[in-house]
Amino acid sequence: MIIVMKPDATESEIQNIIKIIEENGLKPHISRGKERVIIGAIGDEAVIRNIPFDSYPGVENAVPILKPYKIVSREFKKDSTAIKVDDHEIGSDRIAIIAGPCAIENREITLETALKVKEGGANFFRGGAYKPRTSPYSFQGLGEEGLKILYEAKQKTGLPIVTELMDPRDAELVCEYADIIQIGARNMQNFRLLLEVGKIDKPVILKRGLSSTINELLMSAEYIASQGNTKIILCERGIRTFETATRNTLDLSAVPLLKKLTHLPVIVDPSHGTGHWDLVIPMSVAAIACGADGLMIEVHPHPEKALSDGSQSLKPEKFSILMEKVKAVAEVVGRII
């Protein structure tokens, strides 16, 4: 249920509604806009369905939300959410470009890549210090040492850092270094982890699970939002289908659909979405054309030697070409980079 207060509703009228919600065992989510206050009643709506909220003083109207996700829904918040990170914003007119290697392998390659992607025009530097690998014998990431290298890359380039958090036990440590926390596809339904990042005051990139529906992705975002953190960026990174010619099937229709269903920013990762470096530029261009708020691109100076995801990584020169093409399309769709 969403309770929309009148523009001139007093604080005690607002508090009265909050009290009723709490007395019925639901959680109030208060959104204080420029003009009015909107209160979401989060929980089992059946309990309050018969309360005539619109006859209470200060209330303009009360609308039931039929969707299973509430705080992240467009019904709850009509205006698109823009998330500020340092001097950048994700979800506004500006397209956000996140680039970097799949994994932090060592200091030299990381710093070289960071400087090159910065030169190419990236706004954020990415790299995994904790890697969710399919095989336990594959390179698992450098852990804390990797986080320290990321921090050095930030100091050298000024680019904010995006890195993955896999385990709630590492949350404090990862948060010391990360500007944006990434929740990987394999952890999209790790609900304990989602609840944990929901309590952290940092933006989160939530990647769509390998076999997850749009509805499931939004429910996972709702898990995070339910704990107070609404700085969530959704990421389409391809889903598993019968097709094996590509690593995943990049579901670009998810972009305009998500933009309709949620106010949260939506970015696209064509690197994991296709698995092939030569498909990354065309799919990046397509992603911006269909309304994505940003891109996540894997870049490695020597993809043939990369410890993970070399086949889908762009060389820095190719990344610069990607930026030029994406800029041209951004202009056509009224966005800026």
* 209 sits near ligand PEP (criterion: CB under 6 A): no
The only residue of 77, 272, 300, 335 in contact with ligand PEP, by rule CB under 6 A: 272
Query: At closest approach, how far in Å is the CB of 101 from Mn ion?
Result: 8
Query: At closest approach, how far in Å is the CB of 131 from Mn ion?
Result: 8
Query: At closest approach, how far in Å is the CB of 306 from Mn ion?
Result: 9
Query: At closest approach, how far in Å is the CB of 143 from ligand PEP?
Result: 15
Rounded-to-integer distance, Cα 163 and Cα 155, Å: 16
C-beta neighbour count of 11 within 10 angstroms:
9
Rounded-to-integer distance, Cα 264 and Cα 258, Å: 8
CB 95 within 8 A of CB 326: yes
Q: Which residue is nearest to ligand PEP (CB)?
A: 184
State which residue, 186 or 202, has the beta carbon closest to ligand PEP.
186
Query: At closest approach, how far in Å is the CB of 217 from ligand PEP?
Result: 12
Which of 48, 51, 54 has its CA nearest to residue 13?
A: 54
Which of 152, 84, 81 has its CA nearest to residue 123?
A: 84
HEC letters along 100-165: ECCECCCHHHHHHHHHHHHHHCCCEEECECCCCCCCCCCCCCCCHHHHHHHHHHHHHHCCCEEEEC
State which residue, 164 or 196, has the beta carbon closest to ligand PEP.
164
* 283 sits near ligand PEP (criterion: CB under 6 A): no
Strand partners, 207: 235
* 269 sits near Mn ion (criterion: CB under 5 A): no
CA atoms within 13 A on the CB side of 258: 33
Give the one entry of ligand PEP, Mn ion, none that residue 207 binds, where binding means its C-beta sits below a cut-off of 5 to 8 angstroms depending on kind: ligand PEP
Six-digit token string for 172 = 């404090």
Give the one entry of Mn ion, ligand PEP, none that residue 203 binds, where binding means its C-beta sits below a cut-off of 5 to 8 angstroms depending on kind: none
Task: Give me the amino acid identity at 168.
Answer: P
State which residue, 299 or 337, has the beta carbon closest to ligand PEP.
299
Query: At closest approach, how far in Å is the CB of 268 from Mn ion?
Result: 14
* C-alpha 279: how far from chain center: 22
The only residue of 39, 309, 314, 335 in contact with Mn ion, by rule CB under 5 A: 309
Question: Which residues, 73 to 102, sit near Mn ion by CB under 5 A?
Answer: 102
The site that binds ligand PEP (CB under 6 A) totals a number of residues, namely 9
Six-digit token string for 208 = 């769509």
Give the one entry of Mn ion, ligand PEP, none that residue 184 binds, where binding means its C-beta sits below a cut-off of 5 to 8 angstroms depending on kind: ligand PEP
The only residue of 102, 193, 252, 323 in contact with ligand PEP, by rule CB under 6 A: 102
* 105 sits near Mn ion (criterion: CB under 5 A): no
* 247 sits near ligand PEP (criterion: CB under 6 A): no
Query: At closest approach, how far in Å is the CB of 126 from ligand PEP?
Result: 7
Burial class of residue 36 (count of CB atoms within 10 Å of its CB; 0-12, 13-18, 19+): middle
Binding mask 158-187 for ligand PEP (x = CB under 6 A): --------------------------xxx-
Rounded-to-integer distance, Cα 72 and Cα 281, Å: 30
Which of 2, 52, 49, 67 has its CA nearest to residue 30?
A: 2
Query: At closest approach, how far in Å is the CB of 244 from ligand PEP?
Result: 17
Binding residues for ligand PEP (CB under 6 A): 102, 128, 132, 184-186, 207, 237, 272
